[in-house]
Amino acid sequence: MLVKELAAFLDAPFEGNPDLRLRSVASLEDASADDLSFVGKGRAAKLATESSAGCLLVPPDFHNPAARTLIRTRDPRAAAALAIRKLHPSPEPPSGIHPTAVLGPGVVIGSRVHIGPHVSIGAGVHIGDHVSIGAGSVIGDYVHIGEGTVIHPRVTLYAEVTLGRNVILHSGCVIGADGFGFVFTNGTYEKFPQVGRVEIGDNVEVGANCTIDRAALGVTMIGEGTKLDNMVHIAHNCRIGRHVVIAAQTGLSGGVIVEDYAVIGGQVGIGDKAVIQSKAVLGSGSGVLTSKIVRGGQVMWGTPARPLKDHLEQLAVLSQLAKKRRK
């Protein structure tokens, strides 16, 4: 792809050689003369002067004393993501059903669908157009899979799960297993039947080995555009809003509500029925107590989670106490 073609695609101005052919996207450190790279924040500007990249995606105020070929854009990282789709397109699997796949009665399959080896699909499943289902996946009865969804190998969807359009489920996901619901009676734990469902909205991506439990009653819901990292656990009856980001090894207990645009770091634990309001941020390793309300826009850290300023002040006090004890 030529520099001028990429600039036109990004609707961004360029400087330098318009006919330079770009073959791939690489980091500043590893890029060569036919690679595209991008300049983000911090050390990236310094690295850019030493990089061998043929073309750079840079912010509008980037200084260009060496008259390098570059494309100016307000968000170089976002522009790089678009460029990767052009320069590194994902291969489309061939449409068709592998002969080892097993389909139950009443399955409806759209056009240009790929169903890989040893896939098991239950009764009454509806599969939209341009869906890909990887090898060894198990799709339970009456599941609905929206158009353009990609299910990687070894994913399990229990019965009555609903996936929106353009959902990505990575390997090892288990969606719709029973929630952890038990009633203690007469000295033993009796299972509370989990008869609810899971609904996942459009453009959601779920990382490898995530688990999303069905509701005990009602719906466990993941909103449009939300992204879950690897090994995230969403318990029964949780409701995750739109465009929420949750990093790896985080666990949500039953009935948690996370509102739109919240950001949750890695290894966060959230107790039953807590509420994380819109645009709140939970730092990595935080612990949110049962029924706690984290106010919208707050940045919280620590266990129990508290405002970042308070958390840092307490760390400073503990540091001083340690010094005094040594004295």
153 and 254 in a single domain? The answer is: yes
Residue 33 belongs to domain spanning: 3-87
pLDDT (average), residues 124-134: 97
* CA distance linking residue 147 with residue 162, whole number of Å: 12
Cβ–Cβ under 8 Å, residues 108 and 127:
yes
Give per-residue pLDDT as tens, 65-84: 778 899 999 999 999 999 99
Cβ–Cβ under 8 Å, residues 254 and 234:
no
11 and 119 in a single domain? The answer is: no
140 and 252 in a single domain? The answer is: yes
Q: For position 119, what pLDDT does the model report?
A: 98
Average pLDDT taken over every residue of the chain:
94
Report yes or no on 150 lying in a domain. yes
Model pTM score: 0.88
What percent of the chain has pLDDT above 90? 83
Q: Of 42-56, 260-274, 275-289, 294-308, where does mean pLDDT reach its minimum?
A: 42-56
Q: For position 41, what pLDDT does the model report?
A: 72
Q: For position 43, what pLDDT does the model report?
A: 62
> SS3 helix, strand, coil % of the chain, rounded to 5?
15, 30, 55
Give per-residue pLDDT as tens, 6-21: 999 999 999 999 999 9
Q: For position 24, what pLDDT does the model report?
A: 94
Domain count, the chain: 2
Q: Would you name the residues annotated as active-site residues? A: 236
